[in-house]
Structure 1
Amino acid sequence: MNQFDFTHDYHSYANTNEVKVTHFDLALAISFDKKELSGYANLAIEHQSEQLATQLVLDTRDLLIDRIENSQGQSLNFTLDEADDILGSRLAVDLIGDDIWVKIYYKTSPQAEGLQWLTPAQTSGKKQPYLFSQSQPINARSWIPLQDSPKARVTFNAKVMAPQNMSVVMCAESNNEIEYPGVFMFRMPEPIPTHLMAIACGDLAFKAIGERSGVYTEPSMLEACAKEFEDTEQMINIAESLLGPYRWGRYDMIVLPPSFPFGGMENPRLAFMTPTLIAGDKSLVSTVAHELAHSWTGNLVSNATWRDLWLNEGFTTYFTNRIVEAVYGKEMAELEVVLEYGRLMEEFKIMPVEKQTVTANVQTEDPNNAFDRFTYDKASMFVHDLERRLGREDFDKFLLTYVEHFAFTAITTEDFITYAKQTLLVDHSDKISEAELLEWIHGTGMPSWFVAPTSSSLEKVIEQQKLWLDGANATALTVEGWSVHHWQYFLTTLPEKLTVTKLLELDSCFAFTESKNAEIAFAWFTVAVRNNVEQVLEAVAAYLKAIGRGKFVKPLYKSLIDAGYSTLANEIYQDARTGYHPSIVGMLDDIVKS
């Protein structure tokens, strides 16, 4: 008998079964001197039964609560519990009668895990400080007192006051009809999960790249970012042709400073992007497609708990590949699936068998642990397998009706299974059975019938790699026309052990150590470090100090330690730590022991 109730969100204190926050009005002032947001959140609540709830239970982390009032200005009693290391503090507010508003005056902590405060020196322009948030998975509670659960969707209005000559953007429609210097107004009329709450403030410039898309970033980077992402409007059109109308108005992006810990974050109307995507050749823009794809699978249809993350990431990773195929061609799409599968196979080697499922078994763990190759890549392989079995035309019909059926809804894995039994397994009983469906969702390893993805485009890479491994000089290799994906495959599939001499010869020919492409540099550094190529260590240190993207920095620190460079890893980390986002520092602290 399973000990968990899969309808319950174990990462939230919120009593959503009794009373729900459906909307809030936010008024905040930004202080870079104090590294705090201060103001109020006025929460609109909705009782879930005729028996009125007597308490509203919210999630907080390191918030200083000044006072709480109802709509009549009456003070409401509240209790703020001791903080749990993962969940933060439970805030219980005593309600009076049937009043539907609870106004909380508060301040954030300078150490708020969902906010990063950068000095001018940590920005490109070097003149103004910078602030940005990262609310996923449960960090919205560190800057807004909310029912911080993916099942608790909310609409909101916001007024944000910023220092002079600085701009503020949020995951919402700008609503600046009345202009006051330093005051920015926002409105989000569609209900969103709280982990998609987002704010950024800095020296920002904007450039439109389509009728309903554009990019924000620091002025010095604007032209390069706009050029890199110029295909975004085409991506939106392709996505709409597959999954129906784009429901969020605009799709703007902001390219953040290098300390942003992820490739991207799918905040509605304002996707956050890492500057490591700006390669100059559009070779890494599948991340743009991924965050856009979330506008349907993740933002429109979302996970009800962090166990169900695969419903976001598996479908989105698949859908990303479809967008890439339509915009950049079948070869690039096939290469990306092969690389995706390769990453999954590497994670199989280190993940305990019981955790090799698409569902994330994190009910008693930090929800950050849900973000692994199984909730992304194994789940994506499941969706690819569904397409193969049904045929693309029939699968597209299923995907479209699935998204329309659950639009603006948070669902569990069990909800998906029930829906699949009523639709997929009825309409296509000759192509997939219930047992096969459940094997994908609950089984460990890969199903026995699964066939690994391939790409004929990799034959030339395999051939040239073999030539080099068999003794040919790197200068003799035929690599003309190779893409980033070809080089990634070449590097990531090299044998574990190679000689320093051979690797230096490869680097002298192709200059991987100096590569400005973050993916190629990472793949090369991983190979070089595990083989103790000490000539690259200075470049590795510079790389780790220049970017904060978790996909790169976490495994590189681990590679350094595994290769015997623990002291160096610690020295680099001590220099770089203050530049990393708080949401990733805790994970890095566990990897790099001081």
Structure 2
Amino acid sequence: MTSNLNTPIADFDVHRDYHSSANTDALCVHHVDININVDFIAQQLSGTVTLFFNRKQTQSVLIIDGRDLFIDNITDLHGQPLAYECEDVNPILGQRWLINVGLLITQVVVHYHTSPKAQGLQWLSAEQTLGKQLPYLFSQSQPINARSWLPLQDSPKARVTFNATVKAPLGLRVVMSANNNPVMPEDGIFTFSMDKPIPTHLLAIAVGDLAFKATGPRSGIYTEPGMLEAAVNEFEDTESMIQVAESLLGPYAWGRYDMIVLPPSFPFGGMENPMLAFMTPTLIAGDKSLVSTVAHELAHSWTGNLVSNATWRDLWLNEGFTTYFTNRIVEAVYGTEQAELEWVIEFGRLQEEIQSMPLVEQTLPANVQHRDPNLAFNRFTYDKASMFVHELESRLGRAAFDVFLLQYVNHFAFTAITTETFIDYAKQTILVEHGDKLSVDELNEWVYGQGLPAWYEGPRSTSFDKVDFALAQFISGTAANQLSITQWRAHHWQYFLSKLPLIVSQAMLLDLDEAFNFTGHHNAEIACDWYRVAVRNLFDPVLPALTEYLCKIGRGKFVRPLFIELQIAGYHQELKAIYAQARPGYHPSLQVQLDTLLQLEPSH
């Protein structure tokens, strides 16, 4: 379904970041010095942040963002107090701090401490970790949670370099989205430097009982000791992925590509924090079937970290190109069949969301100007945008498209761009050099049109033919254990579950579960897909395992749809009981989203 909308909506400023109060167009922070102490007892960070800013206009007030931050005082570099005031904006954006900097100052020192309620930080007790001996802390700054643990201009438009000194309790390791030294200091004081400008949502920290092992000459894994070997084995192809990515988009600009595998409460599959990508342990399936997320976060090193979205409306520029780029890496490392399978599964997710998402939300630019930017993270900013990039490749031919892609990344490296910046660039490049293959109306229809263009057919893979045949047999009455499942991969099983009828009898569900042991499946993706089918059809035997799953895993991709399925199916009492049990283990940002989504009062 499409619309005739071929131009952007004009009732807002497409260049304004509606999710930051910062006056980056006048006084723009470009460097941050962080000096903080990690206090697990008080569950707070405390110390100073020094903001270095450029003056673009003659203004005497520097405006920064904060949410649930406590600012003790603000001074210049010489310790002289500066006047400041705090204004509440709204619960989503938090507060804005207005600092009187006169007409000469270009640095301010903010003395502050965080709240235990900071949405960008999760404090885990020792009992909530794998090792059960030491506490754990990790951040999640995207999209606008950096302001809850650092006072700064929290906008992707304000790219910053930073230095950091972090003091933690002895025996705990601190890592950040910067250069990390595998050697533990004896005094508990860790120092970091990021000399390349990054968007503020890529500022990251983790503190815990962390071991390290290399996976290649410029990559390695940090995680709890008990998970290290499994993680290294699962992600051993990282160096091969880096080499493939470099062959497409040029040299890797960040030095090292390390990863940290976090506790299960991490709310995302991965987070592309430069030099230290954050990963969920749900990727460790034992067969490398889910490692495309590693490729995805690596791909962000070019599309997202080098070339960034200027506002959260423009998220598709990060995620669409990265999702496409991920598929190219998977194809080169694991083969064409694997890449096709993942592309078809991706398209299936998009088709599912098309059926439930209001039309106005089905454009590439996210309709979030005056709303929670978390709503920008949907299948349209990821998968529709990826389909658009795939179509660009198809129209231009792979060789010509690869030339464009490399030129695009190099042209905008270390800058933040809007949708309209991309459109203008495409008009000057693709539409000039390949005007016979793509028109401006087709370009605008992809970007601003609702749903998918009428001409788009979507990907398919003959590898799914055997699944379609088995599915048809099962629906016609063949017992599950009589189906031919030879050489099925995880993606075949995901496809099978996604193509089951909406209504499946209890007997058929029991037959499937007895034959294939879906309940409690070791692959988190397959388990989630199965639980959705089971809940939708009121298959009560899964409820104990589903409860355990929702209490053990805090990844929003799994948690949100399963709670929604419980709600739609009428499991209201069960939902309340499961959520009350699971909620304390979820990341604070996910707690806030689920409280709103489920309209449940959080239990304390």
Q: TM > 0.5 between the two?
A: yes
Partners of 2:523 and 2:251 in 1: CA distance? 34
What residue in structure 2 maps to residue 421 of structure 1?
A: 427
What residue in structure 1 maps to residue 356 of structure 2?
A: 350
SS in 2 for 1:116: strand
Partners of 2:180 and 2:60 in 1: CA distance? 36
Partners of 2:89 and 2:124 in 1: CA distance? 26
**What's the CA shift string for 1:3-50, capped at 9, x where partnerless?**
20111100000001111101011000000000000000011111013x
Q: 1:237 aligns with which of 232, 243, 248?
A: 243
**What's the CA shift string for 1:424-472, capped at 9, x where partnerless?**
1000011001111011000012112212110000000000011011000
What residue in structure 2 maps to residue 6 of structure 1?
A: 14
Q: 1:277 aligns with which of 275, 283, 301?
A: 283
Q: Given the alignment of the two structures, is residue 197 of structure 1 paired with residue 203 of structure 2, yes or no?
A: yes
Q: 1:486 to 1:178 in 2, by over 3 A?
A: closer
SS in 1 for 2:301: coil
What residue in structure 2 maps to residue 212 of structure 1?
A: 218
Partners of 2:64 and 2:224 in 1: CA distance? 35
Superposition map of 1:400-411 within 5 A: 400-411=406-417
Q: Given the alignment of the two structures, is residue 21 of structure 1 paired with residue 25 of structure 2, yes or no?
A: no
User: After TM superposition, what 4+ stretches of structure 1 lie above 6 angstroms from structure 2?
Assistant: 175-178
So what's the TM-score if we normalise by structure 2? 0.97
Q: CA deviation at 1:97?
A: 3.5
Q: CA deviation at 1:315?
A: 0.2
Q: 1:99 aligns with which of 94, 100, 105?
A: 105
**What's the CA shift string for 1:142-196, capped at 9, x where partnerless?**
0000100001000000000000100000000136999551000000000000000
SS in 1 for 2:383: helix
Partners of 1:367 and 1:160 in 2: CA distance? 29
Q: 1:460 to 1:437 in 2, by over 3 A?
A: same
Superposition map of 1:396-475 within 5 A: 396-475=402-481
Segments of structure 1 that go 5 or more residues without pairing to the other structure are: none
**What's the CA shift string for 1:227-284, capped at 9, x where partnerless?**
0000000000000000000000100000000000000000000000000000000000
Amino acid at match of 1:553: V
So what's the TM-score if we normalise by structure 1? 0.99
Partners of 2:194 and 2:338 in 1: CA distance? 36
Amino acid at match of 1:31: D
Q: 1:372 aligns with which of 378, 388, 394?
A: 378
- The 8 Å contact of residues 69 and 149 in structure 2, kept in 1 or not, is answered as yes
What residue in structure 2 maps to residue 161 of structure 1?
A: 167
Q: Given the alignment of the two structures, is residue 480 of structure 1 paired with residue 478 of structure 2, yes or no?
A: no
Q: Given the alignment of the two structures, is residue 522 of structure 1 paired with residue 528 of structure 2, yes or no?
A: yes
Q: 1:116 aligns with which of 122, 129, 135?
A: 122
- The 8 Å contact of residues 182 and 212 in structure 2, kept in 1 or not, is answered as no
- The 8 Å contact of residues 44 and 116 in structure 2, kept in 1 or not, is answered as yes
What residue in structure 2 maps to residue 548 of structure 1?
A: 554
Amino acid at match of 1:546: K
Amino acid at match of 1:161: K
What residue in structure 2 maps to residue 34 of structure 1?
A: 42
Q: CA deviation at 1:354?
A: 1.3
Q: Given the alignment of the two structures, is residue 77 of structure 1 paired with residue 83 of structure 2, yes or no?
A: yes
Partners of 1:516 and 1:434 in 2: CA distance? 47
Amino acid at match of 1:231: D
- The 8 Å contact of residues 569 and 592 in structure 1, kept in 2 or not, is answered as no
Partners of 2:143 and 2:597 in 1: CA distance? 20
Q: CA deviation at 1:514?
A: 2.5
Q: 1:393 aligns with which of 399, 422, 425?
A: 399
Q: CA deviation at 1:564?
A: 1.2
Q: Given the alignment of the two structures, is residue 68 of structure 1 paired with residue 74 of structure 2, yes or no?
A: yes
Q: CA deviation at 1:593?
A: 3.4
Segments of structure 2 that go 5 or more residues without pairing to the other structure are: 1-8
Partners of 1:572 and 1:445 in 2: CA distance? 35
Partners of 1:210 and 1:47 in 2: CA distance? 43
Partners of 1:520 and 1:448 in 2: CA distance? 32
**What's the CA shift string for 1:508-566, capped at 9, x where partnerless?**
01000021110010011110110111011111101000000000001001111111101
Identify which range, 150-159 or 77-86, moves more after superposition.
Answer: 77-86
What residue in structure 2 maps to residue 140 of structure 1?
A: 146
- The 8 Å contact of residues 309 and 375 in structure 1, kept in 2 or not, is answered as yes
Partners of 1:25 and 1:95 in 2: CA distance? 18
What residue in structure 2 maps to residue 183 of structure 1?
A: 189
Q: Given the alignment of the two structures, is residue 340 of structure 1 paired with residue 346 of structure 2, yes or no?
A: yes
What residue in structure 1 maps to residue 53 of structure 2?
A: 45
SS in 2 for 1:186: strand
Identify which range, 66-75 or 31-40, moves more after superposition.
Answer: 66-75
- The 8 Å contact of residues 570 and 593 in structure 1, kept in 2 or not, is answered as no
- The 8 Å contact of residues 176 and 186 in structure 1, kept in 2 or not, is answered as no
